[in-house]
């Protein structure tokens, strides 16, 4: 019997995901200062007495036609979403994508979570490399067999990609993230990322380690979050459009 989480047919988790952000209460993005309408479609005069409102008499004094930054949108940097959402619109996903989500995880806990995962999967990867004869612990450059190194790198990359993809597509957490009370979430809606999204995220993080020093690439990709604003994304998060948030 399959243990994969149900999807809605598009590869995304179902709408009952407990972490998914609720839809906006004002999906149309209308300005809360728009003039009320009477049943006949003519704007009511908020000043009464038959006197026209300020202006040319054709527009409500505080209508939705006012341009940003006073037109109801969220100003940059949080309103200027780098993923293509309308920075001044009012629809779902516009404005600050983090609104309604838990706080972003701090980099210290993210590092500890990744370290725990590296140790756990590294033990299994080392045992498999030894069983398949790929283990090579020589520090003498003249004796290093690069075929064995590459084979060991392939085993490690496959294990790490599978580990991240399977666990995070279920709950958004690896064992390390669960211990550190963190989870991965879609940037646009806060839901648990799908299998496809997690696969992209894991592939960007682990495939390059087959061809270069794993430590160097992990520092580059993961360390990117130290300087990224405002979402604290590593390169793998940017590729998958995900963020890491705190659960407690």
Which tens digits make up the pLDDT trace of 194-236?
999 999 999 999 999 888 777 898 999 999 999 999 999 999 9
What pTM did the predictor assign? 0.63
Nearest one of 125, 121, 149, 122 to 137, comparing CA atoms: 149
Locus of tokens 């407990």: 18
Nearest one of 85, 111, 107, 106 to 97, comparing CA atoms: 85
pLDDT score for 60? 53
Q: Could you tell me where the beta strands, DSSP code E, fall in 42-83? A: none
pLDDT score for 96? 83
Highest mean pLDDT among 58-62, 126-130, 211-215: 126-130
Q: Which of 13-22, 68-77, 156-165, 191-200 has the least mean pLDDT? A: 68-77
Rounded distance between C-alpha atoms, residue 64 and residue 225, angstroms: 37
Q: What pLDDT band is residue 77 in, cutting at 50, 70 and 90?
A: very low
Helix (H, G, I), strand (E, B) or coil at 41: coil
Q: Do residues 232 and 104 touch, judged by C-beta distance below 8 A?
A: yes
Q: Which residue intervals of 172-234 are DSSP H helices?
A: 175-179, 195-206, 214-223
């Amino acid at each position: 019997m399959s243990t994969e989480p149900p999807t809605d047919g598009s590869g995304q988790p179902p709408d009952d995901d407990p972490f998914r952000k609720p839809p906006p209460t004002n999906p149309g993005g209308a300005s809360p200062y728009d003039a009320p309408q009477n049943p006949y479609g003519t704007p009511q005069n908020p000043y009464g007495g038959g006197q026209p409102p300020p202006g040319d008499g054709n527009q409500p004094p505080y209508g939705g036609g006012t341009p940003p930054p006073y037109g109801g949108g969220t100003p940059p940097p949080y309103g200027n979403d780098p993923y293509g959402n309308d920075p001044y619109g009012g629809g779902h996903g516009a404005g600050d994508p983090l609104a309604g989500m838990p706080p972003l995880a701090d980099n210290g806990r993210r590092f500890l979570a990744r370290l725990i995962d590296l140790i756990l999967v590294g033990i299994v990867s080392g045992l498999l490399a030894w069983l398949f004869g790929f283990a090579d612990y020589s520090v003498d450059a003249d004796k290093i067999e690069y075929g064995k190194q590459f084979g060991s790198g392939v085993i490690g990359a496959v294990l790490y990609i599978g580990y991240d993809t399977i666990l995070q597509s279920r709950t958004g957490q690896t064992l390390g993230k669960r211990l550190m009370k963190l989870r991965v979430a879609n940037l646009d809606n806060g839901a648990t990322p799908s299998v496809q999204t997690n696969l992209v995220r894991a592939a960007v993080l682990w495939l390059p380690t087959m061809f270069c020093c794993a430590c160097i690439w992990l520092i580059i990709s993961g360390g990117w979050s130290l300087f990224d604003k405002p979402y604290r994304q590593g390169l793998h998060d940017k590729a998958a459009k995900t963020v890491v948030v705190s659960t407690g």
